[in-house]
Amino acid sequence: MENLLRPIYQERASHPDTLAIVMIEKRNQTSPLTDNLDVALLVIVKEAKQPVFIKHYEFDGQKASLTIVSDQQVQEWILLGTNRRMVDWILNGKVLFDRNEYLGELVDRLKVFPFSERRLKIGLEYGKLIRRYLEGKVFFESRQFLDAYNHIVHALHHLARLEVIDRGFYPEVTVWNQVRQMEPQVYKLYKELVESEESLEKRLELLFLASDFLIHSKSEIGAGHLLGILSEKDVWLYADLMEHPEARYYSVDLSVLLEFLVDKEFVEVVKIETKGQRIFHRGYSVTKKY
In the chain, what are the domain boundaries? Answer: 2-112, 115-222, 224-286
User: Stretch 158-176: mean pLDDT, rounded?
Assistant: 88
Q: List the 267-273 sheet strands across, edge first.
A: 236-237, 280-286, 267-273
Strands 39-45 and 280-286: unpaired
Question: What is the per-residue pLDDT across 178-232, written as a single tens digit (0 to 9) for each?
Answer: 999 899 999 999 999 999 999 999 999 999 999 888 899 999 999 999 999 999 9
3-state helix, strand, coil in the chain (%, to 5): 60, 20, 25
Q: Does residue 1 have a pLDDT over 70?
A: no
Place domain 115-222 in its CATH homologous superfamily.
Nucleotidyltransferases  domain 2 (1.20.120.330)
The CATH-assigned architecture of domain 224-286 is Orthogonal Bundle (1.10)
Confidence of residue 169 (pLDDT cuts 50, 70, 90): confident
pTM: predicted TM-score of the whole model, two decimal places:
0.85
Q: Does residue 141 have a pLDDT over 80?
A: yes
Percentage above 90 pLDDT, the chain: 65
Q: Does residue 139 have a pLDDT over 90?
A: yes
- Residue 289: what pLDDT? 62
* Alpha carbon of residue 103 to chain centroid: 21
User: Stretch 97-110: mean pLDDT, rounded?
Assistant: 92
- Residue 142: what pLDDT? 97
- Residue 149: what pLDDT? 96
Question: What is the per-residue pLDDT across 5-44, written as a single tens digit (0 to 9) for each?
Answer: 788 878 888 899 999 999 999 877 777 888 889 899 999 9
Place domain 2-112 in its CATH homologous superfamily.
Beta Polymerase, domain 2 (3.30.460.10)
Residues in CB range of 269: below 8 A, 6 or more apart? 262, 282, 283, 284
Task: Identify whether the C-beta of residue 250 lies closer than 8 Å to the C-beta of residue 127.
Answer: yes
| Distance separating alpha carbons of residues 79 and 258, to the nearest angstrom | 21
